[in-house]
Chains A and B, each alone.
Chain A
Amino acid sequence: MEFNIIITGIGGQGVLTLTNIITWSALKEGLDAKASELHGLAQRGGAIACHVRFGDKIYSPLVLEGKADLVFALEPLEALRSCYFGSKKRTVFLVNSHRSVPSSIFIAKEEYPSLSYVLDSLKPFSNKVILIDASEMVKKATGDIIMANIYMLGYACAKKLIPLKRESILDGIKEAMPERYIELNRKIFDLGFKANDVTIGDEVEF
């Protein structure tokens, strides 16, 4: 067994936190796990993609192009940027539809891609795309958009997009987060987990 995830977003959205939580959660199920992060220059509001792999025996910390099982994108443009890790055969894209437009786009007078362009472009790299406005949902619940990452993790777990048990991920949160944030994160995780019952996302099968 082997499961490969690309977690992508913008520096500051919690990509590193998710990476750490999922790696711990896999260990909690007795699996081998490896991940690759990027720090420093790569972090300052720029695009960031981390890799997580777990299974019986894992060597490389990086996912081979085309071999991702899940692309977990905290922002649509970043889903597009990392799409080549996916393939028609095996890849689900879970995408937070909340856009974050970099100011460089205005300065260079470029255009931010439309959601339909993103969906069309993901087609050759995926068998399913799930769009949810996690930022909006979290903002409604907490007044702040910053925990969309954990909300989406709960959603992904409930939808079985990540083959790990809820209890393992709750344990993973405990290991990976500072003490004072654990309860809040578990609460947001469960909000996302329960969101399974209501249709909040658009699901596109290719």
Chain B
Amino acid sequence: MKSILLDKYGKKVILLGNEAIVRGALEAGVGFSSTYPGTPASEIGDTFSEIAKDANLYFEYSTNEKVALEAAAGAALCGVRSMVSFKQYGLNVSSDSAFPLAYIGVRAGMVIVVADDPNCWSSAQSEQDSRYYARLAHIPMLEPSDSQECKDFTKIAFDLSEKFSIPLLLRTTTRVSHGRGVVTLGKIVKGKKRGRFNKDSIRFRNFPPYIMETHEELHKKLDELRKISEEIDINFSLNEGSRNNLGIVTSGVAFNYVMDTLQDLKLNLPVLKLGMTYPIPGDKIRNFIKNLESILFVEEIEPILEESVSALAKDVNPELKFYGKKNGYLPRSGELKEWHILLAISKITGVKSQFNPIAQKEEYKKLSVVKRPPVMCPGCPHRASFFATKSVVGEDAVFGGDIGCYILGIYSPYETQDFVFSMGASEGVIHGIKKVSDQKAIAFIGDSTFFHAGIPGLINTVYNESNPLIIILDNRSTAMTGHQPHPGVGITGMGEKSKVINIEDIVMACGVENVMVVDPFNVKEMEDAVREYLQKEKVSVIVAKRECQLLAIRRKKREGIVIPKFGIDQSLCDGCGICLYQFGCPAIFIDNDKFFIDKDLCTGCAVCVRICPKRAIKAVK
């Protein structure tokens, strides 16, 4: 983190891909940055938040990605360079405004960073390939393959954006965002932080019939950018002219897997590496493929280059054979691994590797390796909320899931996430279920998620009259992505105090008549609230308010408050197992059929004390 602000031209440092993007923005003179946290993009915003004051720029955690993109657009329209960053679904959320922004254009460089997550390492929704958005929205796109390129491409993106008055997309994938690597620093540029909105009655109003003019203008910009794509050195080829029949077209992190594979196989195949993947450089590609017999496409997620390059081959090399995701040489789902590429090239060329990843996998499959799924932390207030709710309604009710730490409620013993769609969807879907089914239905939604996309769904249940129980799990933080603040906390991305917006006030203002704020650690009270509200004829809301235990522990340590530890009195414990089998606290374990609490893991929440029927759990030293 310290390296981000270093003003030492030419110095080499280690940066995370996400940090390198921030450094690139500083070297491009960025003045405004916004985000809504989402892994694998989260550290971009968090790094901005940490350095904003020292770097003399503005940063905010917006309420959602659409607002974040609009805010960054507003700054860019006033002539201030801006960056907005989010994960792949953030681009979906923001797309309503991203599409017209391509027509409207910008007055200073604006970069939209989108982080895709092949293999869904940090996401639970889909393996979305955001490169389709570039084509759909007509927004040019760059794809860095490591930290150095993250920094360099960010600068290029700002310059191209400003030169052509069009926003640019910078697409990363998890292994780029969360890859570390050596970065050679450039000069930090002090950019404009203040600007002015100068009216443009045609472009900015974006209203028919002028839209057809701006649409035409957009195509002209893309024609010019196509020429840039032909010339720019981030689209380059290697080993051309070598006597080989197979060539490789690649982009992003996959380029690195290709280079290592060629080294392993001692092959010198021609490689075309595209850093700018929209618009693609048609002539450069035609030139690359015209003398080849076959071509292998190595790209993360969908066969996008495979489809667009195949179309070009018809003119210059109709006999060209294609290998890639479409004919099973590389997998269509999951992230690419070096061994996929090793096997594909071996299969095509007949050259064998000294490594045998298949044999490794076969040997590994013989082993019994028990799972270690991620869990809610010891003392997590969500666990108490789930336990209390389940103890009242049992397995019978439908549980609507949402996006946040509480998604871990999918695991046994909770199983309180019967479906998961997207941010805020617990409410929308549960409303539909309630309209056609007499089942009891409960939606769980987090605090930050409620601010992000939960309010329209809640109003819909009131206006269109359904009666689910909505439990807002308010742990006073956007915990899953790294404890970013939100409007309910009253701290901004600049680290300053702001107005605290209470969730219960919003709920009441939406017209909900049954609203209760409950501390989920008070299990009895939580159970009573659930029991009462499930009988209501109108929608009801419980705000389960309790600070995230990780934050609470940190705060208590800071304030010198002693954190109590608990133990099980073996003379009282009858081994019923509620604390482990139903409450599922990770600090509780079994040894020789007896239950114990691991003092190193216990965070002193004392919920187990309240739920133990034998009152066998007591504070210990």
* B388 interface residue (CB < 8 Å to A): no
* Cα–Cα, bound, A18→B228 (Å): 42
A95-115: CB near B (< 8 Å → 1, else 0) gives: 000000111111110111100
Question: Chain A contacts of B586 at CB under 8 A?
Answer: 45, 102-103
- In the complex, what distance in Å separates the CA atom of A40 from the CA atom of B123? 8
A41-B480, A84-B363, A175-B14 known; A103+B588 contact, CB < 8 A: yes
| B342 close to A (CB within 8 Å) | yes
**Is there an interface contact between B122 and A41, defined as CB atoms closer than 8 Å?**
yes
| Cα A125 to Cα B147 with chains together (Å) | 31
Question: Closest residue of chain A to B589, judged by CB?
Answer: A101
* Interface: B288 (CB within 8 A): no
Report how far A38 CA is from B467 CA in the complex, Å: 40
Set of chain B residues within 8 Å of A58, measured between Cβ atoms:
181
Stretch at the interface among A61-69, A152-160, A162-170, A192-200: A61-69
Of the stretches B253-261, B469-477, B491-499, the one at the interface is B253-261
Q: Specify which of A27, A33, A175 lies most central, judged by the most chain B CB atoms within 10 Å of its CB.
A: A27
Give the one of A35, A40, A46, A101 with max B CB within 10 A.
Answer: A40
CB distance from A144 to the nearest CB of B (A): 8
> In the complex the two chains form, is B355's CB within 8 Å of A67's CB?
yes
* Bound form: Cα–Cα A84–B358 in Å: 10
Instruction: Tell me which residues across on chain A come within 8 A of B376, comparing CB atoms.
Output: 44
Instruction: Please determine whether B377 and A37 come into contact, CB atoms closer than 8 angstroms.
Output: no
Q: Tell me if A65 and B178 are in contact (CB < 8 A).
A: no
Q: How far is the CB of B265 from chain A (nearest CB, A)?
A: 12
Q: Is A81 an interface residue (CB 8 A)?
A: yes
Which B residues from 26 to 81 make CB contacts under 8 A with A?
A: 39-40, 42-43
Interchain CB contact under 8 A, B580 and A103:
yes
CA gap between A39 and B16 in the complex, in Å? 12
State whether A124 and B180 are in contact (beta carbons under 8 Å apart), knowing that A42-B121, A101-B589, A103-B585 are contacts in the complex.
no
Docked pose: A78 CA to B369 CA in angstroms: 9
Q: Can you list, as one digit per residue, whether each of A73-108 has a CB less than 8 Å from chain B (1) or not (0)?
A: 000011011011001000000000000011111111
B383 to chain A, nearest CB (A): 11
Closest chain A residue to B580 by CB distance?
A106
A42 with B355, Cβ < 8 A, contacts A33-B14, A59-B260 known: no
B86 to chain A, nearest CB (A): 14
Within 8 A of A (CB), among B356-376: 356-357, 360-361, 363-364, 367-376
Q: Report the bound CA distance from A112 to B584 in whole Å.
A: 17
Contact status B370-A121, CB under 8 Å: no
Task: Determine whether the beta carbon of B175 is less than 8 Å from that of A36.
Answer: yes
Closest-CB distance, A5 to chain B (whole angstroms): 13
Q: Are B377 and A45 in contact, with the CB atoms below 8 A? A: yes
Write the chain A residue with the least CB distance to B581.
A107
Residue count of chain B within 8 Å CB distance of chain A: 71
Q: Please indicate the chain A residues that have their CB under 8 angstroms from the CB of B580 in the complex.
A: 103, 106-107
User: Which residues between 395 and 442 of chain B lie within 8 Å of chain A, taking CB atoms?
Assistant: 405, 407-408, 411-413
Instruction: Report Cα–Cα, A87/B405, bound state, in Å.
Output: 37
Contact between chains at B338 and A66 (CB < 8 Å): no
- Our pick among B337, B372, B600 for the contact of A104 (Cβ within 8 Å) is B372
Q: A34-B181, A103-B588 are contacts. A81–B339 as well, Cβ < 8 Å?
A: no
Residues 329-364 (chain B) with a chain A CB within 8 angstroms: 337-339, 342, 355-357, 360-361, 363-364
CB-based contact A61/B14 at 8 Å = no
The reply to whether B259 and A59 form a contact with Cβ atoms under 8 Å apart is: yes
Query: Once the chains are docked, how many angstroms separate the CA of A67 from the CA of B338?
Result: 11
B-chain residues with CB within 8 Å of residue A24 when the two chains form the complex: 14
B191 within 8 Å of A by Cβ? no
Query: Contact between B180 and A34 (Cβ–Cβ < 8 Å)?
Result: yes
B124 within 8 A of A: yes
- Tell me whether A107 and B412 are in contact (CB under 8 A): yes
B217 within 8 A of A: no
Q: Which of B96-135 contact A (CB under 8 A)?
A: 121-124
Chain B positions 380 through 403: 1 when the CB is less than 8 Å from some CB of chain A, otherwise 0: 000000000000000000000000
Inter-chain contact A121/B588, CB cutoff 8 Å: no
Q: Which of B357, B370, B374 contacts A110 (CB 8 A)?
A: B370
Q: Are A108's CB and B412's CB within 8 A? A: yes
Are A38 and B178 in contact (CB-based, < 8 A)? yes
> When the two chains form their complex, are residues B590 and A106 in contact, meaning their CB atoms are under 8 A apart?
yes
Which residues of B have CB within 8 Å of A42? 121-122, 374
Bound together, the chains give a CA A23 to CA B181 distance in angstroms of 8
Q: List 24 A-B contacts (CB under 8 A).
A: A20-B180, A34-B181, A36-B175, A37-B179, A38-B122, A38-B178, A39-B178, A40-B122, A40-B481, A41-B39, A41-B122, A44-B375, A45-B377, A45-B586, A60-B260, A60-B338, A61-B146, A61-B175, A62-B338, A64-B338, A65-B357, A80-B367, A112-B370, A113-B370
CB-CB nearest 8 A-B residue pairs: A40-B122, A40-B39, A46-B374, A44-B374, A59-B256, A35-B180, A59-B259, A61-B179
Residue ranges of A at the interface with B (Cβ–Cβ < 8 Å): 10-11, 19-20, 23-24, 27, 32-47, 58-62, 64-67, 77-78, 80-81, 83-84, 87, 101-108, 110-113, 121, 124-125, 145, 175-176
7 additional A-B residue pairs with CB within 8 Å, beyond A61-B146, A61-B175: A46-B374, A59-B263, A84-B364, A102-B371, A104-B372, A124-B363, A176-B14
User: Residues of B with Cβ closer than 8 Å to A?
Assistant: 2-3, 12-14, 16, 39-40, 42-43, 121-124, 146-147, 174-175, 178-182, 253, 255-257, 259-260, 263-264, 337-339, 342, 355-357, 360-361, 363-364, 367-377, 405, 407-408, 411-413, 480-482, 580-581, 584-586, 588-590, 600
